[in-house]
Amino acid sequence: MARLKALSPDEATGKTKELFNAIQGKLGVVPNMMRTMGNSPALLEGYLNFSGALAHGKLGAKTGELLALAVSETNSCDYCVSAHTYIGEKLVHIDATTLQSARSVSSDDAKTEAALKFANILVAKKGLVNDTDVDAVKAAGFTDGEVGEIVGHVALNILTNYFNNTAATEIDFPAVKALNAVEA
């Protein structure tokens, strides 16, 4: 059962209503995570702005979705694993094997695997990476800017993972259980 209420788009007012209308116009639906974030228009707007900015980055949608899956698995967020599995498959057209591999922080592509491993190290070390960690991801072909974007994707996904785990957001995508799920 959800710990925080998901607002109905029909009942939203003010800034939340404005944001919900924009989401509805873009996605055709307001997902439960965003409906729940709508309790704080500042949070929802911050999430949307950060997510939108990263969407225009150099890493691209595929790498972004794979990073989201790797981080969401690390943080045992069933909502985000479900959402990014669906988005990755249906909207970004990533094959099921690649999606599953990302959940285990692996990839057939060495550069993608380096990004996933770096993301996992960032989470495990709470951002306190060392020269060797950064050198490894740069040696795989990532620029300083792209390393920064990986950090951004990790931060964005930690935000959504922690939010959904706190809220116990009702999953409104085909449900996928995190591989190492932690019982609350």
Task: Identify which of 174, 157, 173, 169 has the alpha carbon closest to the alpha carbon of residue 34.
Answer: 169
Domain 60-167: CATH superfamily is AhpD-like (1.20.1290.10)
pLDDT at 183 over 90: no
Whole-number average pLDDT of the chain: 96
For the chain, the structural domain boundaries read: 14-55, 60-167
Gyration radius from the chain CA atoms? 16
Alpha carbons 78 and 173: distance in angstroms, whole number: 10
Alpha carbons 184 and 181: distance in angstroms, whole number: 9
- What pLDDT score was predicted for residue 184? 47
How many other CB atoms are there within 10 angstroms of residue 29's CB atom?
Answer: 12
- What pLDDT score was predicted for residue 48? 98
- In percent, how much of the chain has pLDDT > 90? 96
Tens of pLDDT, residue by residue over 41-91, are 999 999 999 999 999 999 999 999 999 999 999 999 999 999 999 999 999
Task: Identify which of 123, 104, 122 has the alpha carbon closest to the alpha carbon of residue 66.
Answer: 104
What mean pLDDT is predicted for residues 2-13? 96
pLDDT grade, residue 146 (50/70/90)?
A: very high
Question: What's the gap between Cα 42 and its chain centre?
Answer: 19
Reading the block at residue 113, the tokens are 């695997």
What's the pTM value of the predicted model, to 2 decimals? 0.94
